[in-house]
Chain A
Amino acid sequence: MIFIGERINGGFKDIVKAIKEKDSSIIKKWAVRQTQAGANYIDVNIGAVSNKVEDYIWMIETVQETVPTPISIDTNKLEFVKEALKLCQKTPLINSTTAHDEKLDQLVPLAAEHGVGLIGVCMDEKGSPQDVNRRVELAAKIFTHAVEKGLPPERLFLDPVIMPLKFLQPQATNVLEAVGQFKLLSDPPPHIVMGLSNISSQTIESKLINRTFLVMAIEAGLDAAICDVTDTELVNAAITAELIKGEHIYSDSFIKAYQAAKKPGAGS
């Protein structure tokens, strides 16, 4: 499972404050906590807090000064992506392109050229997909574009677009079905990722919903998630789901075994 820590995002009040006041301690705290929790990438998103590329650079540098975890460059501004790519010490992930032609033409060659991963969100200028077929159509478009421009499936992360369960309940099963179909695009298939927390937006039992949906999505074929990696029950449920699918060899301490595999120096 590839865990992308969602917490350094201008949508959170403490991060807004950190950016406005240039208080690096808040960014550092979340970089450390998410790394300790086993994040494979730290997502860095400035949100609507600032338009200045310097502010975004400051966020990335603050993370990199603190932890060795690779960055997920989460921005819709091309200039920000380009500047961030120059800075990243470990191979980052670009989060994200959509199926919009203009976006694909900008971001796919950039990811291919820099040898980095790219998240492709299955929406386009017409908006978010409302059914399974549209999701698969957009995924196929992104996938084809990526392969043609030299970005191999192992560096492509397709995102089927999660919508809040509370408001768009039928979309949850649509997403799961789409994930199953994304798996058929190639062998080996591209990665499949989701911004998990969207599913539980404005719900009371958000952690339970996140956890249950993540397990169901793993069963469908998901292998990456942008989520709250500091939620131990969530992470452990994902590890257990992969164990049940036979992706890890059972041992009595299988959670520890999974964590040991992630320690620096323990191999890939």
Chain B
Amino acid sequence: MLIPEVRQKWANSINTVTIGATSEEGGTRTRTVTVGGSTTLPFLHFEGKIPHRPVIAMEVLDITPKDWPALLGEHFSDVWDDPGRWAKKCVDEFGADLVCLRLAGCDPDGEDKGPDEAAAAVKSVLEAVGIPLIVWGCGNNDKDNEVLPQCSEISAGERCLLGSITEDNYKTLVALCKADGHKLIAESPVDINIAKQVNVLATDLGLDPKDIVIYPSSGALGYGMEYVYSIMERGRIAGLDGDTMWAMPLLCDIGKEVWKVKEAASDEIAEWGDQSQRGPLWEASTAYVYLLAGADLLIMRHPKAVSEVKKYLEKLMEPK
């Protein structure tokens, strides 16, 4: 019996985005990370090329985390008062591909740190590790527009991935990225149309579409993950079909979502089993699903979840 040809030929490929710059490229990173470039849907090696393995960034905050469960504290509490040492531990002990420095301390409803302190945190991480850096603001538009310029300036030429622009707040960050040679995270609230719109607005200001990574928002396993999955999948298919405003690599912010849900973070319900197993498994399972939806870059927290996902990725990247 003849087996029908199922391979699809796509009109377009996903953009490649390189994060980090070595000294030859005007930065100080010892290596760079490239994501994207697929000419097919995730892991369909028989159909197209997947030139770059999806990567994992480990999360570092600019303050001692207030709401991280003790299970994460076991691995990070010795270093989490110092972003540089924390980042170094992620690299040396847990094999992070990138570090994601989240400027949670700048939140006006929290410690309300200023631009000087934020830039100092960026600098300390850059000095402590040689891998590329994601710098993500606190999520308050006005405050991010106040602190990120200095962070961008101090890391000029390092080709960081800065986050994030939204439909309502993109002009400052687009200008910074163009001036200082960074890449950008374009964020949207699980909305395929707004995800595209943010990219149109940013590129209309002269940003190269190839400088953008899409963050379509993430949800933990059990908390809206299926909806995010469908948006990512539909967007990726559109990108491969030729929609250049959806042809960007995809980022999923997993640790932040997983470790706030009780199924991962709580150790109070005995019948749910051992939290030290359940928590990392919840994070890893969430990651697996997003990888299948098209994620190119995952931001994660628990070292065990990171190592499990890396093993899984190695298997997925073996062409059959």
Contact = CB atoms under 8 A, between A and B. Distances in A.
B64 to A, nearest CB: 40
A256 interface: yes
Nearest to B192: A249
B40 interface: no
Interface string A228-268: 00000000000000000000111111001100110001111
Given A260-B209, A266-B209, A267-B12, A248 B204 contact: no
Contacts of A265: 208, 210
A268 B196 CA distance: 17
Contacts of B243: 248-249, 257, 261
A257 B247 CA distance: 12
Interface in B243-257: 243-247
Contact of A267 (B193, B199, B209, B235): B209
Contact of B204 (A253, A261, A267, A268): A253
Given A260-B209, A261-B245, A252 B197 contact: yes
Given A257-B200, A266-B209, A268-B12, A249 B242 contact: no
B231 to A, nearest CB: 10
Contacts of B209: 260, 266-267
A258 to B, nearest CB: 9
Nearest to A253: B200
Given A266-B209, A267-B12, A260 B246 contact: no
A246 to B, nearest CB: 10
Contacts of B317: none
A248 B196 CA distance: 10
A260 B238 contact: no
Contacts of B120: none
B15 A249 contact: no
Interface of B: 11-13, 15, 192-194, 196-197, 199-201, 203-204, 208-210, 234-235, 238, 242-247
Interface of A: 248-253, 256-257, 260-261, 265-268
Per CB-CB distance, the 3 closest pairs between chain A and chain B, nearest first, are: A251-B196, A251-B197, A261-B244
Given A251-B196, A251-B200, A256-B204, 20 more contacts: A249-B245, A251-B194, A251-B197, A251-B245, A253-B197, A256-B200, A257-B196, A257-B197, A257-B200, A257-B245, A260-B200, A260-B244, A260-B245, A261-B243, A265-B210, A266-B209, A267-B209, A267-B244, A268-B12, A268-B244
14 contacts: A249-B196, A249-B243, A250-B196, A252-B193, A253-B200, A253-B201, A253-B204, A257-B196, A257-B197, A257-B199, A257-B245, A260-B204, A260-B245, A267-B247
